[in-house]
Structure 1
Amino acid sequence: MIDKNSPLPIYHQIVEHIKSLIEKGELKPGDCLPSEREYAESYEISRMTVRQAVNELVSEGHLYRIRGKGTFIAERKIEQKLAGLTSFTEDMCARGMKPSSKLLRFEIVPAHNKLAKQLGIKENGPVYDIVRIRFADNVPMALENTYIPANLVKGLTEEIISQSLYAYIEEKLDLKIKDSDQAIEASVADEKQSKALEIKKGSPILFIQRNTFLTNGATLEVVKSAYRADRYKFLINMKR
């Protein structure tokens, strides 16, 4: 694994070797990594060099530490490219994962002033208030709060939103979704979010707000989501 004559730093060789073992499935999520001492003795290198490699893998999310127990292989993050407007259900199915949801709230409420402006409706106009935990292969990925004008999208039921909401809107109501504006911020989980996502309070999350629009210019939805930062990452291709 280690070529001391290589121009590549030794710590970088260790990083790439461990990544390759993870990719091949030889190291699986939850597996305990050999100790720094074991690596150092096996390859006759310093523990400081091993620690530098492990620290980099931890910072990249490939490994995690438990005090007094060791360093373990982390679950792989779900990657979502920010190149097209798709639903959570469509994203998970495209990755060969089973999407599901737990409905926490489904009701029609009057839109307060700020929300009404975001949705382009009159203040106190009827709005679906939908709160769901979104799962991939039974693992909680996001806590999602969706607001939809009830006069625009009619006939929503709990059964419908348990499937793909976008499919119902486009196929059953014949409304055409055009695009969305999406903002992503780093945040930490509050008590409600930590309980829903099964993470510790104060754990890092990705807070996302998406405003989605129809081809006729109407605002379809405002969605506020808290994604687990340890299981989700977003990718974007940027051209000069």
Structure 2
Amino acid sequence: MINKNSPIPIYYQLEEKIKNQIDQGDLKPGDMLPSEREYANTYAISRMTVRQAITKLVNDGYVYRKKGTGTFVSEKKIEQPLQGLTSFTEDMKARGMTPGNRLVHFKVVPATSSVANYLKIQENDPVYEIQRVRLADNVPMALETSYLPEKLVPGVTKEIMQSSLYEYIEAALGKKIKEATQIIESSTANQNEVELLQVRKSSPILLIERHTYLEDGTPVEFVKSAYRADRYRFMINMKR
């Protein structure tokens, strides 16, 4: 029950109670939550307090609202550790999910000054520009735009991009990928991301910029990705 004498705010107690029900499987993805009135009557609290708890759950991605219908439990987020360098395909397979791609465009273009700087090549050198919607169990998870030097990674085709690019670089080309750096920041979905990721306007997005290097330190890939913040989160273990 809600402890009204606790120093812990009532809205927070309700929020944690609903979170526990979701985490323990008592409330499953797609289930509709009780109405604000039902929660208020059950716990003898105000509807404003209930609304505050639900709004926090919506903002944190645990639930979502459907106008005129109700509030529903969201699909569980995929948690990706930030230690170790794996491809999206490898990561989804490790979770028992079926990875997939929806190719938006695939072309060779002259490198802009910024792309050339990231890849340590000359401006206007040919690079692959590949944009894909990354899927897990056929659900859009991320919109990814990759740039690769054509001379360093020859022979890339649309068919190759339907599977794992890293597998092609290492197995087919014999080039060993060593490491990558990633920058993560928050944003809201633009119109293109709304359409391709099938999210609502201004939905939270995790923007990720990755620079990938071969064993000898040569940059092999520059990637800009927009991940759905309602389906994805990143985790890192830190030791003192």
TM-score, length basis structure 1: 0.90
One-letter identity of the residue aligned with 1:233: R
Equivalent pairs counted in the alignment come to 240
Comparing 183-192 with 9-18, which one deviates more in the overlay?
9-18
Matching residue of 1:55: 55
Matching residue of 1:65: 65
- SS of the residue 1:31 aligns to: coil
Matching residue of 1:194: 194
The 5 A counterparts of 1:170-185 are: 170-185=170-185
Give CA deviations for 1:152-211 in whole Å, capped at 9, x if unaligned.
Answer: 112212221211111111122221111112111222222222111112333221111111
CA distance 1:7–1:207, shift in 2 (3 Å): closer
Give CA deviations for 1:76-133 in whole Å, capped at 9, x if unaligned.
Answer: 2111111121111111112211110011212222212221121111222121111111
> What is the rounded CA distance, in whole Å, between the counterparts of 1:213 and 1:183 in structure 2?
15
One-letter identity of the residue aligned with 1:74: S
The 5 A counterparts of 1:1-240 are: 1-2=1-2, 10-240=10-240
1:7 Cα deviation after fit: 7.2
One-letter identity of the residue aligned with 1:181: T
> What is the rounded CA distance, in whole Å, between the counterparts of 1:4 and 1:201 in structure 2?
37
Percent identity of equivalent pairs: 60
- SS of the residue 1:158 aligns to: coil
> What is the rounded CA distance, in whole Å, between the counterparts of 1:51 and 1:204 in structure 2?
20
> What is the rounded CA distance, in whole Å, between the counterparts of 1:164 and 1:13 in structure 2?
44
- SS of the residue 2:159 aligns to: helix
1:145 Cα deviation after fit: 0.7
Unaligned residue ranges in structure 2 (runs of 5+) = none
> What is the rounded CA distance, in whole Å, between the counterparts of 2:198 and 2:185 in structure 1?
20
One-letter identity of the residue aligned with 1:108: V
- SS of the residue 1:171 aligns to: helix
CA distance 1:200–1:42, shift in 2 (3 Å): closer
- SS of the residue 1:129 aligns to: strand
One-letter identity of the residue aligned with 2:234: F
One-letter identity of the residue aligned with 2:193: Q
- SS of the residue 2:124 aligns to: coil
Give CA deviations for 1:5-50 in whole Å, capped at 9, x if unaligned.
Answer: 7776554443333223222333222221111221222233343443
Unaligned residue ranges in structure 1 (runs of 5+) = none
- Contact 2:61 2:229 survives alignment (8 Å): no
> What is the rounded CA distance, in whole Å, between the counterparts of 2:26 and 2:47 in structure 1?
23
CA distance 1:189–1:14, shift in 2 (3 Å): closer
TM-score, length basis structure 2: 0.90
